Amino acid sequence: MSITSFNPPVRTLMGPGPSDVHPRITSAMARPTIGHLDPMFVGMMDEVKQMLQYAFKTENKLTIPVSAPGSAGMETCFVNLVEPGDKVIVCQNGVFGGRMKENVERCGGVPVMVEDDWGKPVDPARLEEALKANPDAKVVAFVHAETSTGAQSDAKTLCELAHKHDCLTIVDAVTSLGGSELRVDDWGIDAIYSGTQKCLSCTPGISPVSFNDRAIEVIKNRKTKVQSWFLDTNLVMGYWGPNAKRAYHHTAPVNAMYALHESLVMLQEEGLENSWQRHMDNHMALRAGIEAMGLKFIVDEAHRLPQLNSVTIPDGVDEAAVRSRLLNEFNLEIGAGLGALAGKVWRIGLMGHSSRAENILLCLSTLEAVLSEMGADINKGVALAAAQSALK
């Protein structure tokens, strides 16, 4: 057997993630590797923490990147805040609320489910009913930006309800960080996690998290050990904490941290609010083309994520065949539906470096070409003009 170097094709990534990685970030990853306790690296770690505070809009001291993907960020929040027997209200309106439930159970907690239709936001009235019915609940967990559907929930209102009933909040912001409005301190979010591979234009493999003082107090007063040694914030903060002398915890992914640092520098250069606006502007252009073609979105406009668009599939169309042709003939990736939406929608991402005018036009033109060839009932020859008009 003779295996040679792997050289991937150049794709345009417009699925649910990862998104296109900016060349500045891949260039940053190629810089010389230094030790994870090198004073230069430690200085860079402090800058990463400061810039993550900017991205999250928080002053939380415990704001760090976990050396693993967004799923590990989720687990970090749950294993630190949930003890055996704790009752946790989990709001589910898609796949990732279900993963929250799984985390609660594995921590020995008791999940109380508040379920909404997929494609709808979390209903605050249903959450309030659950809080009243479970006065002993300790935590409310919900997904701010549900990647499986493209629906965005009202995090500020949900956090206010949780605090009114003396609950902490755990929030999934994997798809929202950097792409739509997110204000950790102003909204009273106690613990939050995200990922680098979506709207930060970075490579997969790191999960930014943030805990406020209220959450830290709960962690410090646990009755039991955190079940995960690697994700125990009491230990990790010896490495990521404010002390000049860092205690060894694990070998950080040095070059991946260069990439995160560069992506956050770029976010500062663009301006956080400008990034939010860019994602919205490009969504409006994609929307104009999609609707001109005669296709529809499953999420109501008021609750629609600009960076993750769930688009209905025309009748009689083999959705997997469309995705396969886009990938193999045009090197364009879009996503399939998950769970209850499998086979019913395509998920088109406009995240980070993928959120560009040229990507929108490529997606619309190739999607129209493939659907037309398949005999789908769509409006032809109008999508590009509609999108270009919206881009002006």
Residue with the larger pLDDT of the pair 319 and 242: 319
Q: Which of 332, 260, 309, 279 is nearest to 10 (CA)?
A: 332
Distance, first Cα to last Cα, the chain: 55
pTM of the model: 0.97
User: What does the chain come to in residues?
Assistant: 392
**18 preceded by a cis bond (ω within 30 of 0):** yes
Q: Give dist(CA 351, CA 178) in Å, integer.
A: 9
Residue type, 236: V
Percent of the chain whose predicted confidence (pLDDT) is above 70:
99
Question: In this structure, what token pair is assigned to residue 76?
Answer: 């970090």
- Rounded to the nearest 10°, the torsion over CA 258, 264, 265, 270 is 150
Residue 261, pLDDT above cutoff 70? yes
Residue 3: which residues within 8 A CB-CB, separation 6 or more? none
CATH of domain 23-268: 3.40.640.10
Cα 343 to Cα 68, 90, 286, 323, 325, distances in angstroms: 30, 26, 21, 11, 16
- With cut-offs at 50, 70 and 90, classify the pLDDT of residue 237: confident
String of DSSP letters for 73-127: HHHHHHHHH--TT-EEEEEESSHHHHHHHHHHHHTT-EEEEEE--TTS---HHHH
- With cut-offs at 50, 70 and 90, classify the pLDDT of residue 239: confident
Residue 244, pLDDT above cutoff 60? no
- For the segment 323-335, the average pLDDT, to the nearest whole number, is 98
Residue 161, pLDDT above cutoff 90? yes
- For the segment 130-140, the average pLDDT, to the nearest whole number, is 98
CATH of domain 272-391: 3.90.1150.10
Average pLDDT, the chain: 96
**Per-residue pLDDT tens over the stretch 74-112:** 999 999 999 999 999 999 999 999 999 999 999 999 999
Q: Which of 169, 210, 174 is nearest to 189 (CA)?
A: 169
- With cut-offs at 50, 70 and 90, classify the pLDDT of residue 175: very high
Q: Give dist(CA 262, CA 21) in Å, integer.
A: 11
Q: Delimit the domains of the chain by residue range.
A: 23-268, 272-391
Query: Buried b / exposed e across 96-124, counting CB within 10 Å, b at 16+?
Result: bbbbbbebbeebebbbbebebebbbbbbb
- For the segment 156-177, the average pLDDT, to the nearest whole number, is 98
Asked if 129 and 122 touch (Cβ cutoff 8 Å), the reply is no
pLDDT at 1: 85
pLDDT at 304: 97
Question: In terms of DSSP H, where are the helices of the chain?
Answer: 23-29, 39-56, 70-81, 95-106, 124-133, 155-164, 184-187, 213-220, 233-240, 254-270, 272-293, 319-330, 357-373, 383-391
**Per-residue pLDDT tens over the stretch 338-390:** 999 999 999 999 999 999 999 999 999 999 999 999 999 999 999 999 999 99
pLDDT at 243: 65
Question: In this structure, what token pair is assigned to residue 278?
Answer: 């860019």
Strand-strand pairing, 87-92 and 110-115: parallel
Question: In this structure, what token pair is assigned to residue 379?
Answer: 């409006």
**Per-residue pLDDT tens over the stretch 19-63:** 999 999 999 999 999 999 999 999 999 999 999 999 999 999 999
